[in-house]
Amino acid sequence: MPPASSPAGSGGRAAGRPRLSSLAILDDYQGVSLTLVDWAAGLPGVSVVAFGDHLSDEDALVARLAPFDAVVAMRERTPFGAGLLARLPNLALLITTGPFNAAIDLAAARDSGVVVCGTGGTASPTAELTWGLILALARHVPAEDGAVRAGRWQHTVGVGLEGKTLGLVGLGRLGGRVAAVGSAFGMRLVAWSPHLTAERAARHQAELVDKATLFASADVVSVHLVLGEGTRGLIAEKELRAMRPSAYLVNTSRGPIIDEVALVRALSEGWIAGAGLDVFDEEPLPLDHPLRRMPRTVLTPHLGYVTEETYRIFYGEALEDARAFQAGVPVRVIEPR
C-alpha cells in the first residue's frame, strides 16, 4: 500500500516545530548523496551532513545523531527501534529511502512524535542484478575472471538456461520483471507465494505450483518476497534439501527469508550447486562470516537498488520530504498499520 499524506503537527516532538536546522544522511557508502541533489538550494539554512561509515553500536549512533532534528536513512541499513528513538529527543523527521522500511518501528515513531516519510523507487535495478547473479553462477563468471587474470584459460564448464526451469518465489512487481527475462531466455517458469493465484501467474507466462514442487523442480530458484513474520525463515533446511544438486538459489530480496545456517550447510555439503546472494541476515556481512568462505557462491553487498538513477529518486524525493515538512504539509508519510 503506498504511503499516504497526513498533516504536520500531529503531536510529540514535531508539534509546533516543523522548522529544521540540521539533517543527517546515513550510510552514504559511495559518498554521492551531497552531489546528486542540491541540498543547500532546497533547504536553505539547514545544515546537511552525510556519513559514509556504518555504525552498529547504539551508543555511538546516539552520540552521532543527537544534534540532528532530521535523518535520512538508506533502506534498512540502520534500524530505528523504540529504544533508539527514545534516545533521540531532538529527532522530528525520519526519512527512509523507498516506500517502506521494516527496520523502523513506526508505532514507536508515532508515539514519540517523529514523522516518518518515504520515497519512491523502482524494481528494475534489482531485477537486473538478479539476472547478473544468475548468469554469473551458471557460467562461472567470477571464477573464470580470476583464472584469466591469473594466466589460466577455460577451466570450468557452464550450463545454459534455455529449456531450464526458473522457480520464482514471489511474483509481484520485481518477480514479474525477472519472469519476463526468463521467458526471453526460453526458460520454463514456475511460481509460488502464499497468496499467488493461477491467473496472476499465467499473466507472467508462469505456472502456479505448490512450494514443494517449485523447490524440487527448479534449476534456478529466485526469491522475490517482502520480509515479514510470514516470510522470515521461509526457505529452510527442508526446502534446500528438496532442491536438485545441480540447482542454484538466488536471493536479492532480504537475507532472513532464507535460514542462513541451513544455507551454509547446503553449500558446504553440496546439497545445491551454488547461490547468488545480494542480501544477508547482518549487513555489512561480518568479516568472519562463513558465507565469505563458501565455494560456488557469488556475493554482492546489497547492490540491488544501488544505481545512479535510483539514488536520484531516493535523495531527490528525500529533499522533497524535508521541504514539505518545513512547510507544515509533510508528504509520503508512512503510518503504522
Q: Are 148 and 309 in contact (CB under 8 A)?
A: no
Check whether the bond before 67 is cis (ω within 30° of 0): no
Q: Of residues 254, 317, 320, 332, which has the active-site annotation?
A: 254
Q: Helices 173-184 and 124-138 meet at what angle, rounded to 10? A: 40
Contacts of 272 (CB under 8 A, 6+ apart): 240, 243, 244, 245, 247, 248, 249, 266
Sheet holding 70-73, edge to edge: 47-50, 22-25, 70-73, 93-96, 115-117
Q: Of residues 283, 289, 296, 323, which has the active-site annotation?
A: 283
Give 187-255 as a DSSP string. -EEEEE-TT--HHHHHHTT-EE--HHHHHHH-SEEEE----STTTTT-B-HHHHHHS-TT-EEEE-S-G
Alpha helices in the chain (DSSP H): 33-36, 39-42, 58-65, 82-86, 106-112, 124-138, 141-149, 173-184, 198-203, 211-217, 237-242, 260-269, 308-326
Q: Of residues 77, 302, 320, 332, which has the active-site annotation?
A: 302
Residue type present at position 52: G
Whether 302 is catalytic is yes
Decide: helix, strand or coil at residue 65: helix
Whether 254 is catalytic is yes
Residues belonging to the active site: 254, 283, 302
